[in-house]
């Protein structure tokens, strides 16, 4: 009975709640539901099933995202005649009645992404007709096919920006966008487009930005959109990119063809304004060197274009290296992750504005850095992850690449390059030579077939990466005359065999130092007392058996001590300068003693220090390894036992000894007493005789 009545009353409460929330929906008092800021109303995520009809009539922007408006009826927004922005994203909206927007002649921006417009697209098409001022329309994620799209945009001639990302469009024919004569921006990202008819964009005379990324386009030929400024065709299956052979001026500034299957450098417009050309992750190479085919007929490729019963054949000699347009305005060129083995001579030097060049992850073995081959404007050059054996430099050139700041040569096999190379780069600040087998001049031991690189007196260099170079013991003045701020010497087991002396010349300029995996063990060798400006220090993966005491006088912000052999920290470190400056510390994978973790508590109590890997810190107890964060009760108790045990142990050890001593003493005393007694007695007796 009691249970029943409980159920009943619970039921009543639920009913009551239900009714209340319904009543809110039915009579929406906008103040309690939506937020009004100036003339914009925010009703996002309020579980509304319709547009509130009692908002101030002069509102200009209405945000209704993430609600449950499935139908937009005639006249729902009629009284908001000044509305220029309406957003109804993520409402599962299916049905927009033909007259739904009839009162919104000023509407310019309509956001309908992530709804189900496909269900009643014909009706929606009619509704959109009544928006003469519509400039921006977003229909992303509405399950639209190309037929639906064609009908939806039939008469939207005022539209300037249209997004159709994440729909089901597969083919673009010449009719689908034909009336969008004002369109400047079109996004078709993440559809299933595999074919684009030649006239598909013909009427889009004002189109400036076209996004075709993440589709299945196999090639782009006869490219002729002269007004286009940005074309993004990344993440397709494009093997060919060929511009229509013409002398027209193209406005193209950015071309993104990355993540495709390009086999050849694209055939670009002869006259263009290209500043950014993105070709990374393709299968490009130049072939003239390999096949000597410029003179043969084999390189001639014929393209047959069929349109309107006219067949046209274009021949392009793709094996020829220099088929480029004018690239004198190009600033950023990314050709990383390709199959390049060489660059045609004069290829780069014609790019007279080039500042950033990425050639990493290719198959280069030799690169020529002469002034005749590279433009002097270059600021960043990335040649990492190639098979570079040789850097060719004109032996008589004074300064080369006068503007180069950043040079990445990591992960190569450098065998031949001038030792003094970097002294000729006047502006160089960052050099990455990691993962090359080399030494630093002056070399300690002669011999071996490896090169030595001289950084002495390279005054501009600030950041130097030498990780995994298998450096031999670095000599004492290898960094003399530099002001290095950041140095990565990690994974060089022999570099600091003789201690920190090789770094003495840069001890005061260094702020970031990585000595991970450098074989440091505890001794006077790991003396950091001179590095007074150091901010970050990585000492992980070494053999430190205790905390290097010289660290406690530094003002580090970050310290990494993972994977060493440290069993505990001295308390003083926490309260020294280091404890005050430290922001972040890494401590895991050391064999800490579970019974001596007071230092960790002190560190945590500091509050200013973030122990980044707290969850991973473990400690040792007898032969077990346990997590410090979930230290089992048994361990803490055993630790307590061990500490209290010691006094007990002493007691136990001392007690029998002292007892024996006591007994012995008593016996002795008694013995002595007995004798005394006897003596006294005998004396008395004797005296008694008197
Ligand atoms: C909505 O308005 C349109 C045009 O104004 C009209 O053709 C249609 O019949 C109306 N629909 C309803 C359900 O009233
Ligand atoms: C577009 O306009 C034309 C002529 O003005 C008209 O015949 C056609 O029905 C309109 N299309 C839609 C979908 O309303
Ligand atoms: C091209 O589109 C892809 C995918 O959205 C994007 O990651 C990339 O940044 C775009 N490229 C440019 C140049 O904007
Ligand atoms: C390439 O062609 C030129 C001229 O036809 C010829 O002199 C040269 O020997 C050829 N080189 C190779 C590697 O076949
Ligand atoms: C295509 O062109 C041929 C002649 O070149 C002509 O006989 C034929 O009628 C044309 N076909 C069509 C569909 O226009
Ligand atoms: C065919 O090529 C000729 C010359 O190359 C050109 O004048 C003509 O416009 C082209 N026709 C088509 C349909 O591309
Ligand atoms: C150099 O290139 C490698 C591999 O491409 C990369 O991991 C590294 O971060 C780059 N170096 C610098 C300083 O950016």
Report how far residue 365's alpha carbon sits from residue 438's, in angstroms, rounded to the nearest whole number. Answer: 17
Band (pLDDT 50/70/90 cuts) for residue 686 is low
pLDDT in tens, 503-526: 999 999 999 999 999 999 876 578
Paired residues of 243 in beta bridges? 223
Q: What is the mean pLDDT of residues 219-227?
A: 91
Ligand nearest the Cα of residue 258 is 3
pLDDT in tens, 314-342: 666 655 555 567 899 999 999 999 999 99
pLDDT in tens, 156-196: 999 999 999 999 999 999 999 999 999 999 999 999 999 99
Band (pLDDT 50/70/90 cuts) for residue 244 is confident
Our answer on whether the CB atom of 295 is closer than 6 Å to any ligand 4 atom is yes
Reading the block at residue 162, the tokens are 């249209």
Residue 385, CA distances (Å) to 4, 263, 360, 388 in order: 74, 20, 6, 8
- Cβ atoms of residues 560 and 516 within 8 Å: yes
Q: Which CATH class is domain 33-134?
A: alpha beta
Our answer on whether the CB atom of 115 is closer than 6 Å to any ligand 7 atom is no
Write the CB contacts of 404 (distance below 8 Å, at least 6 apart in sequence): 378, 379, 380, 381, 425, 427, 428
The alpha carbon of 320 and the centre of ligand 6 are apart by a number of angstroms equal to 23
Q: What is the mean pLDDT of residues 268-286?
A: 94
Cα 112 → chain centroid: 31
Q: What pLDDT score was predicted for residue 479?
A: 96
Q: What is the mean pLDDT of the chain?
A: 86
Instruction: Classify 46 as helix, strand or coil.
Output: coil
Sequence ranges of the domains in the chain: 33-134
Task: Give the residues surrounding ligand 6 with Cβ less than 6 Å away.
Answer: 305, 307, 310, 312
Report how far residue 265's alpha carbon sits from residue 329's, in angstroms, rounded to the nearest whole number. Answer: 17
Reading the block at residue 291, the tokens are 């096949």
Ligand nearest the Cα of residue 360 is 7
Phi, psi of 125, rounded to the nearest 5 degrees: -60, -45
**In 3D, which of 160, 153, 158, 143 has the Cα closest to residue 176?**
153
Instruction: Classify 276 as helix, strand or coil.
Output: strand
CB pairs under 8 A, 24+ apart, for 541-549?
A: 541/490, 541/516, 541/517, 542/515, 542/516, 542/517, 542/518, 543/519, 544/520, 545/521, 546/522, 547/573, 548/522, 549/573
Paired residues of 584 in beta bridges? 558, 610
- Indicate if the alpha-carbon torsion angle 412, 414, 419, 421 is positive or negative: negative
Report how far residue 136's alpha carbon sits from residue 85's, in angstroms, rounded to the nearest whole number. Answer: 9
**Which residue is listed with tokens 């054996």?**
389
> Poorest-confidence range of 4-13, 139-148, 283-292, 449-458?
4-13
Report how far residue 452's alpha carbon sits from residue 444's, in angstroms, rounded to the nearest whole number. Answer: 10
Residue 376, CA distances (Å) to 106, 371, 399, 419 in order: 53, 7, 10, 21
Paired residues of 240 in beta bridges? 219
Look at ligand 2, atom 4, and give the residue with the nearest C-alpha: 155
The alpha carbon of 232 and the centre of ligand 3 are apart by a number of angstroms equal to 6
The alpha carbon of 408 and the centre of ligand 7 are apart by a number of angstroms equal to 6
Task: Give the residues surrounding ligand 2 with Cβ less than 6 Å away.
Answer: 125-126, 129, 154-155
Report how far residue 468's alpha carbon sits from residue 411's, in angstroms, rounded to the nearest whole number. Answer: 9
The alpha carbon of 125 and the centre of ligand 1 are apart by a number of angstroms equal to 13
DSSP state of 81: T
Instruction: Classify 334 as helix, strand or coil.
Output: strand
- Cβ atoms of residues 520 and 498 within 8 Å: no
Instruction: Classify 649 as helix, strand or coil.
Output: helix
Task: Give the residues surrounding ligand 1 with Cβ less than 6 Å away.
Answer: 74, 97-99, 102
pLDDT in tens, 58-111: 999 999 999 999 999 998 898 999 999 999 999 999 999 999 999 999 999 999
């Amino acid at each position: 009975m009691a249970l029943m009545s409980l159920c009943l009353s619970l039921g009543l409460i639920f009913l009551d709640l239900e009714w209340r929330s319904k009543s809110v929906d039915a009579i929406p008092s906008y103040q309690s539901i939506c937020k009004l800021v100036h003339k914009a109303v925010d009703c996002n995520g309020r579980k509304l099933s319709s547009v509130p009809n009692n908002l101030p009539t002069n509102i200009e922007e209405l945000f209704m995202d993430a609600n449950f408006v499935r139908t937009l009826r005639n006249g729902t927004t009629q009284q908001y005649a000044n509305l220029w922005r309406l957003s109804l994203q993520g409402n599962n909206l299916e049905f927009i009645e033909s007259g739904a927007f009839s009162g919104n002649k000023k509407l310019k921006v309509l956001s309908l992404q992530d709804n189900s417009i496909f269900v009643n697209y014909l009706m929606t098409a009619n509704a959109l007709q009544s928006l003469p001022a519509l400039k921006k329309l977003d229909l992303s994620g509405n399950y639209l096919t190309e037929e639906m799209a064609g009908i939806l945009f039939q008469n939207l001639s005022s539209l300037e920006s249209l997004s159709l990302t994440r729909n089901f469009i597969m083919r673009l024919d010449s009719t689908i966008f034909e009336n969008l004569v004002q369109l400047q921006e079109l996004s078709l990202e993440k559809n299933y487009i595999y074919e684009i008819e030649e006239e598909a964009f013909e009427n889009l005379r004002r189109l400036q930005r076209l996004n075709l990324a993440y589709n299945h386009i196999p090639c782009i030929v006869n490219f002729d959109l002269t007004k286009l400024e940005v074309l993004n065709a990344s993440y397709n299956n494009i093997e060919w990119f060929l511009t229509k052979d013409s002398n027209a001026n193209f406005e193209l500034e950015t071309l993104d063809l990355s993540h495709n299957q390009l086999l050849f450098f694209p055939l670009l417009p002869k006259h263009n304004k290209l500043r950014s050309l993105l070709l990374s992750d393709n299968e490009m190479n130049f072939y003239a060197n390999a096949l000597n085919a410029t003179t043969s007929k084999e390189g001639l490729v014929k393209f047959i274009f069929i349109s309107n019963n006219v067949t046209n054949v274009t021949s392009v000699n793709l094996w020829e290296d220099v088929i480029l347009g004018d690239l004198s305005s190009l600033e950023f060129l990314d050709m990383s992750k390709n199959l390049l083995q060489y660059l045609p001579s004069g290829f780069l030097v014609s790019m007279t504005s080039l500042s950033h060049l990425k050639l990493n992850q290719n198959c280069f073995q030799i690169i020529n850095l002469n002034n005749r081959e590279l433009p002097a404007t270059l600021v960043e050059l990335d040649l990492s992850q190639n098979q570079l054996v040789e850097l060719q430099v004109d032996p008589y050139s004074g300064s080369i690449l006068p503007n180069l700041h950043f040079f990445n040569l990591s992960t190569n096999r450098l065998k031949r390059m001038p030792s003094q190379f970097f002294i000729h780069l006047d502006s160089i600040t960052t050099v990455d030579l990691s993962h090359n087998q080399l030494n630093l001049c002056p070399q300690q031991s002669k011999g071996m077939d490896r090169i030595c690189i001289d950084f002495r007196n390279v005054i501009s260099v600030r950041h130097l990466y030498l990780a995994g170079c298998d450096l031999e013991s670095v000599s004492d003045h290898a960094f003399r005359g530099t002001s290095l701020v950041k140095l990565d010497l990690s994974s060089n087991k022999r570099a600091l065999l003789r201690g920190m002396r090789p770094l003495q010349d840069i001890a005061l300029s260094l702020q970031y130092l990585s000595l991970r995996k450098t074989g440091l063990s505890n001794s006077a060798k790991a003396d950091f007392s001179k590095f007074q400006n150091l901010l970050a220090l990585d000492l992980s993966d070494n053999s430190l058996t205790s905390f290097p005491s010289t660290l406690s006088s530094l003002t580090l912000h970050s310290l990494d001590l993972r994977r060493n052999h440290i069993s505990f920290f001295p308390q003083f470190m926490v309260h020294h300068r280091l404890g005050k400056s430290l922001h972040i510390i890494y401590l895991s994978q050391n064999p800490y003693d579970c019974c001596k973790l007071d230092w960790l508590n002190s560190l945590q109590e500091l509050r200013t220090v973030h122990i980044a890997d707290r969850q991973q810190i473990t400690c040792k107890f007898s032969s077990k390894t346990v997590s410090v964060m979930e230290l089992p009760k048994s361990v803490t108790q055993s630790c307590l036992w061990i500490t209290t045990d010691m006094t007990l142990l002493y007691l136990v050890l001392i007690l029998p000894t002292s007892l024996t001593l006591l007994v012995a003493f008593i016996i002795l005393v008694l013995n002595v007493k007995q004798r005394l007694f006897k003596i006294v007695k005998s004396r008395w007796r004797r005296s008694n005789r008197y």
